[in-house]
Amino acid sequence: MRTSRLEIRLQGGPVRGVHAATKVDTFRRGLSLRIRTPDGLEGRGEASPLPGYSKDGLEEAEGVLSSIDWSRLPEPEDPDSAVAGLDALSNALPDAPASARFAAETAWLDLLGQRALRPVWSLLAPQRGDQEVPLCSFVGAAGDAGVVQAAAAAARRGAHTVKIKVTGPRLGAQHAVLRRIREAIGPCQLRLDANRSLSPDSAAADLEQLCALAPELVEEPVPTAALPCLMSPVPIALDESLQDPGVWASLAPHLEHLRCAAMVLKPMALGGIRICLELAARAAERGLDVTVSHLFDGPVALAASAHLAVAIASRSRASGLDRHAGLAAWPDIEVPIIGGATLKVSAAPGLGIPRLPEPA
């Protein structure tokens, strides 16, 4: 890829309400990638692994992005071969950590879209731009002060789905909070995320108690190793388990009794857009819905995930791409594709976001 300027810049700042699995972060950091081409285009990418969730780290991502020989990467020229270009890009970066690969893919697709005057989503799936993608709003954990009020506010502004974190090994008093949330949000869908924290010995009983609340999904209820033995009374979704390359083969025979209904794809954690396309194809083969979500990333990664969602996500089950608390750590950049309750499918080229401010 021909470049005239490459910039990798560390950004970060204090945040509130950022939940990394079972811990809460108060500071979020990430790397902003900018690639300038000789013809004046600028492709943007972002590497912001989430401590306590991602398998890679910021220093690892920075080292790889700084050492890439960009001249050996494919030129972003043929808009009708975007997926093949991602394959070539992946082959050129065989050992790149997940977040660095996502950053490189995003910048490459941004340049390709700008050059072709097409949005990134249309490079991946041009036939998918006819319907908006509903959004899920994450409002906090069941133990957070004010979570009931936050859930009610999200429902009032039109969120399709409200998401709540729950924490094991037993749900205990969280059941009472969840009942109040269910009453507060009315017909809005309720999604729960246990981050693999429920005890395998009591998970079925805890999930049975949730049936009265009609949860749309419970993401990752138990540790991955315990999933094949779980007889879930409520629909579940796979999320962080998908970071294990061998998990699909081990879980595929058990999807029916697991009541697995969906995959949650987070390109920052999984290794970028190409691998998410592959996982989405596997989900379609098994009749699973696909939703796309984030790691409390910055605006560039959020925009890239939104374009991916337009290409592959369910139109009836919400994707977790509402504006979120992690954005406070980054420059305030408009992400036009993120609407109020849906993704706003746009024809703006590339990622469709304004150029990032020049460094001070």
> What gap in Å lies between CA 160 and CA 162, rounded to an integer?
7
20 against 232, higher pLDDT: 232
Res. 359: pLDDT tops 60: no
User: What b/e sequence results for 272-308 when a residue is b if at least 16 CB atoms lie within 10 Å of its CB, and e otherwise?
Assistant: bbbbbbebbeebeeeebbbbbbbbbbbbbbbbbbbbb
Residue 25 pLDDT = 86
Residue 156 pLDDT = 96
The 10s digit of each residue's pLDDT in 182-226 is 999 999 999 999 999 999 999 999 999 999 999 999 999 999 999
Give the residue-averaged pLDDT of 146-165: 97
Strand partners, 342: 134
Residue 130 pLDDT = 84
Sheet holding 23-36, edge to edge: 5-20, 23-36, 42-47
How many CB atoms are located within 10 Å of the residue 220 CB?
A: 23
Res. 24: pLDDT tops 90: no
The 10s digit of each residue's pLDDT in 104-153 is 999 999 999 999 999 999 999 999 988 899 999 999 999 999 999 999 99
The 10s digit of each residue's pLDDT in 223-263 is 999 999 999 999 999 999 999 989 999 999 999 999 999 99
Q: Are 312 and 288 in contact (CB under 8 A)?
A: no
Per DSSP bridges, beta strands 133-134 and 342-343 are antiparallel
In which residue ranges of the chain is CATH 3.30.390.10 found? Answer: 5-121
Strand partners, 236: 218, 260
Gyration radius of the chain's alpha carbons: 20
- Residue partners of 209: CB distance under 8 A and separation at least 6: 171, 175
Average pLDDT over the chain, rounded to an integer? 95
Res. 313: pLDDT tops 80: yes
DSSP state, residue 7: E
Res. 360: pLDDT tops 90: no
Give the residue-averaged pLDDT of 258-286: 97
CATH architecture for residues 5-121: 2-Layer Sandwich (3.30)
Chain mean position to CA 47:
13
In which residue ranges of the chain is CATH 3.20.20.120 found? Answer: 126-343
Residue 257 pLDDT = 92
Look up tokens 């429920």; give the residue.
198
Look up tokens 């594709």; give the residue.
337
State which amino acid sits at residue 315. R
Residue 68 pLDDT = 95
- What is the CATH topology of the domain spanning 126-343? TIM Barrel (3.20.20)
Residue 358 pLDDT = 60
> What gap in Å lies between CA 142 and CA 163, rounded to an integer?
10
The H or E element that residue 248 is part of is helix 247-251
Give the residue-averaged pLDDT of 353-357: 75
Helix (H, G, I), strand (E, B) or coil at 297: coil
Residue 22 pLDDT = 67
Res. 351: pLDDT tops 60: yes
Chain mean position to CA 285:
21
**Residue 356 banded pLDDT, cuts 50, 70, 90:** low
